[in-house]
Each structure stands twice: as C-alpha cells, then as structure tokens.
A and B are shown apart, each in its own frame.
Chain A
Amino acid sequence: MKDFRLFAAITAIGLLGFAGCSQASSQQTPSSYTDDIGRTVQIQGIPQRIISLSPSNTEIVYALGLQDKLVGVTSYDNYPPDAKNKLVVSGFSTIDLEKIITAKPDLVLADDIQKKDAIPALEKLGITVYTMSPNNTDMIFNDLKVLGHISGKTKEADNLVSNLKSRIKVVADKTAKLTDLQKPRVLYVTWHDPIWTAGNGTMIQYLIDQAGGTNIASDLHGYATITMETAVQRNPQIIIVMSSMGAQNVSLDFIKSNDQFKSTDAVKNGRVYEIDADIFGRTTPRIVDGLETLAKLIHPELFK
C-alpha cells in the first residue's frame, strides 16, 4: 500500500515535470549557464524582476542599465546613489527570505558568501539563483556578458566590456615599458593592528601590477596579515590605505604618525594615500576607475 502511494507520487511528480517541460519548450528553450561558483543555472525567458544580494552585483545591474528591473537590494548597496531607493531585502550575510519571496523575483543574483545558506534556501523555494563573485577582471567581463545575454542586453554588455578593456589597455601600455626598478614598492593596508594586506591572487595585486607598482606582499597568498618588521624592512615607497566606512581613518592616521613607519620611504616622502574602499573592495566595472586612480598615485609623471 505504502509502495503504491510512493509510486503514484513519483509518477505524478514526473508527469508534472514533463508537463512543465513541454509547456516551456513550446515557448522558448531554457538556456544553461555556469555561474562563478560552478553551479549550472537554467534560465528561461528574460528576467523581469531581479534581486541583487551584494553591492557589487547591484553595480553590475546598473552598469547594464537594468535598474528598472531591480526589485530588491542589500542594506549595504550605496552605488549608484539611486540604489538606496530600492527595497532592502538583505543585510550582508543575513538575508530576509520572506521579503525576497514577497518581491516575486525571477532571478536572484547571489554572492559566493551565501553559497552555504542563502543559495540552497532560495533554490528550495524554486527561485532561480545566479552567483556572481568575480575575482579578476576577466570574471567581471564574463559576468557582464552573461547577465547581458540573460537579460537581452547582449550588445550593451559587449560595448561596455570592450570599453573597459580599452581603458585597461591604455594604462597597461604605459606601464609595460617600465623596468622593475621603475616600479615602486607598494604596501597595501586594509587594517593596521595587525597589518592586513593583499597578496598573490587578489584583485589588489592585479591592480598594483597593472598600475606599474611592485606589491611588497606578493609572497603572501590572498588577504593576509604581515608583521610590522617585514613591512618596515621591505621599505615601501608608497603606502595605500583602504578608506574606512563613515569614520575617520584610524589606519591611515596610525601609519602617518607611527614611529616605526617613519624609516620607510613612503612616510618620509609623504606618499601615504587613502583609496576608496567601495571602489577597490568590490569587483565591478568601477574597478577600472580604481586602476586609473592607482596608476595616477603610483606614476603621477605618466598619468596626468
């Protein structure tokens, strides 16, 4: 008896699924995409109601001119300023499932950080989730193109990507001619106690390389701490400090006033700079603005 019920249930589900498929195929075949964390995502038709679960995803949505279809964002989304007017459905690591369902999204753009909790929860509710967590510019371009393709903005996406690529090329062409000696030693700092910096495999490393600098922490992997004595001994010629949100920059004050950093060329020559955390900490088209800013800081003589 039990077995029969199970059989019936499976058959019914199978039939429903089949019916669903045949109905879909009569309109349009779903396209299949692989997202940034390797999930295969089936997307059918052009999404009309998009939710973004990270500030960088929101920037990418705006960059493609899809803001009218954006029906939910996170509480940290501050760029472009218009994003602040959108419905908030999520914090950074906590999402509000009720609000998300009520907003009836047909596409949720998630972040890598949500892969263990929010993404499975949304999948269980039958919501289409595409994850964008680019680690480098190629992945940004790929995400722009995929989202452009999904949302019927293929041409806009292609134009945007080729524009970004040519801007990167302008910087890279100038710095490519530099010899190693002409590339100043750069220390990048996100926090000073202990000193947190960015090593190999990070976007920051890529930007410093492209902008014609030498990252003194390139022997570290990913975002990592570096001891004060190593930082001082490697004698950075330029120190770049990440800006802090809404507050006076404690790390910047520390590096400028600390006795231990006084022996470094960067402090001696007043080459300690603050950069915008929102631009350098997010992987969005604005990262190219960041590259241009960084290139001007490192090589003011080349970029005027």
Chain B
Amino acid sequence: MINDQNASVARTTVRELPAYSSRRFFRVISIGGMMLAWVIISLLALTVGSVEIAFKTVWQIITSHLPFVNLHGDWSPTTDMVITGIRLPRIFMVGAVGTALGVAGATYQGLFRNPLADPYLIGVAQGAALGAVIGFILPWTFGGGYIIPFLAFLGALAAVSVVYLVARVGRTLPMMTLILAGVAIGSLLISITAYLTMISADKVQGILSWLMGSFSVSNWDQFKLIAPLIAVGLAVIFLYARQLNVMQLDEEQAQQLGVNVERTKIILLASASLITAVAVCFVGTIGFVGIIVPHTVRLIWGPDHRLLLPLSAIGGAILLILADTASRTLMAPSEIPVGVITAFLGAPFFLFLLKQKQKSVF
C-alpha cells in the first residue's frame, strides 16, 4: 500500500520531467506566437486610418523605404508622410507604451501579491498628471511643447520617491504601508491637480485630453526617447522573473529560499515605476491596460512570471494597438481618447474571461 503510493509519487515526478521540458517548448511557442500576432496586428493597423489609402499602396510605400529596394510609385509625398511619418511612428509608440504598462502591471501585481494592483497604484499616474497640469499652466514653455512630458515624467518619479520614503520603515519596505502611502499621496496629488485644472478654465480641453490618453501627435522623436528606457526597464524586470515567482510564497519564505527580498523589491519597484513614468509622460494616463492584460495572461497561461512578464508585454502592446486603431477610425476623422476605448473594450472582455474560467480557477 505504502509502496504503491511511493511508486505513484515517483511516477508522477518522472512524468513531470518531460512535462517540464514540454513546458519550456510551450513557453517558446506561446511567446513566439504572440510576437507574430503583434507583428501581424501592427501591419494590419497600418493599413487603416481616417485617410483611406489602398492596401497595396501602403505596402508599396513601406517596401520603398526598405534598404536596397528601388521602388517608385505614383503616391504623393503627403501619402508617404501619412504612412511613414504619422501612422507608423504612432503604432510603434502605442506598442512601446503597451509593453511598459502590461509589464508594470504584472510586476506590481506580483510584488504586492494583490490582484487589484496596477501601474498607477503608488502615485506614478497622479504625480505625472500633476506635473503635466503644471506644464499646461506655466506661463512659459521650451522645446516645442516638451515641457509637458518632461514635467509629467519628473512628477511621476517625484511622487513615487516620496511614497517610497514615507513608506520605508528602517531598512524594510512593508508592502501594506507602501500601498497606503501611495493611495494617500495619490489623493493629495489628485486634489491639487483638480484645483489647478479648475482655476485654468482655458486649458481644460488640453488637460482632459491628456488625462484620458492620446497618441494623436506621436512621432519618431518621441519613440526614440522612450523606447530605450522602456527596453532597459523590461530587461531588468525579466531578469527578476524567478525571484518574483518565489516571492509569491511570502517574504519570509522567499528570504529563506535565498532571495534578497528587500533588494528585489526596490529594483522591481524602481524599474516598474520608471517604465510607467516613461510610458505615460507623452501620451497621458491610459487606464485599464496595466490591470487587465496581466490578469488575462494569468487566466490563460497561468501564474509563472517567466511566461507572465513577457506575455504581458506583448499582450499590452496588442491590446493598446487594437484600442488605438479603434480610437482613430471609429469616429474618423475625429478621434476618441484611447483611454475611453481601453476601458470600454477591456472591461467586458476581462469579465467574459473571468466568467469562463470561474469554474476551474476560482
């Protein structure tokens, strides 16, 4: 009887060995497949917009810009500008911001072991919003309007730093204190932002547009500024996937298993906050991506951060590209703020997934 049980345990362990390697295969396939989906969706997004340009022309224009291709068509320089100077950089920006928000959300949820955590939990968005609003109402500007993203970025980092300093107890950083400090300081910042918005009635239009998020003026310069920062942040976070897995137990056990918990927390918090700040500074505080994407990935692929983090990056990019495509085509030639779309599409989709998986997971 006992032998039988031992044998069955041994059998399952043995059976899990090939299963583990097939998990590895599964990881590669999942990430590769999602990457492919990202590329295909980006290319399709490139062919639609408020200006109608034939599918074939879009491809010819793109091909004509590839090295070693000598192709001349009958499209106008304006059409070329619409594709390569407006739509293409916009799709790249959307993708970069989507990866940042998706991964930041997954990281925060892992760190706080809290399903309600999102990239804006500890003051990044509120600090960015206050910075941006100050940028809006300052009586001077510099660098062709770069003052708003610059101050939004500074505001985001300043807010998180203050939250961190307030929450720190001696050498440790209790996560509950961090959340509470984040919520309190966030509310304070929101009240200041609301007051500044109210007293500058002539700027309300711009401020509201920024708060709801928009990629309407995305260009290559913006992409070149944010992409390297986001790439570095993502790389650091991906390297800590295993530690995040271990920290799902609890901090004490993780410490006993050899994870330097305090250092890991600070590195992950700093990286996730940095990429969030970079993501929102140009395009505004787009909601829902950071909370819905990691959950969706977890519901489909499970909680292993080695898979969850990269898939949240790709999922974030895909969701935001779909939302932005809707934002610039549904009411063309007008634009709907992308934050409105992410909430409108994201929430029902997420509820549907939740309902589907309810029987097995929850």
Contact = CB atoms under 8 A, between A and B. Distances in A.
Interface stretch (A26-34, A249-257, A296-304): A249-257
Contacts of B201: 76, 91-93
Interface string A253-267: 110011110010000
A259 B202 contact: no
Given A193-B210, A257-B144, A263-B77, A244 B202 contact: yes
A277 interface: yes
Interface in A267-283: 277
Contacts of B179: none
Contacts of B209: 191, 193-194, 196, 225
Interface residues of B, number: 38
- Determine which residue in B86, B147, B202 has the highest number of CB atoms from chain A within 10 A of its CB, and name it: B202
A196 B137 CA distance: 18
Contacts of A196: 205, 209
B334 A250 contact: no
Contact of B78 (A228, A232, A246): A232
Interface string A196-220: 1000000000000000000001011
Nearest to A192: B217
B218 to A, nearest CB: 9
Give the interface residue-count category, chain A: 35 or more
B212 to A, nearest CB: 10
B143 to A, nearest CB: 9
A254 B219 CA distance: 12
Contacts of A230: 50-51, 332-333
B20 interface: no
B206 interface: yes
A235 B203 CA distance: 27
Contact of B141 (A195, A219, A233, A247): A247
Interface string B178-216: 000000000000000000000001110110011000101
B32 interface: no
B345 to A, nearest CB: 19
B132 to A, nearest CB: 11
A229 interface: yes
Q: Closest 4 interchain pairs by CB?
A: A194-B216, A230-B333, A227-B50, A233-B51
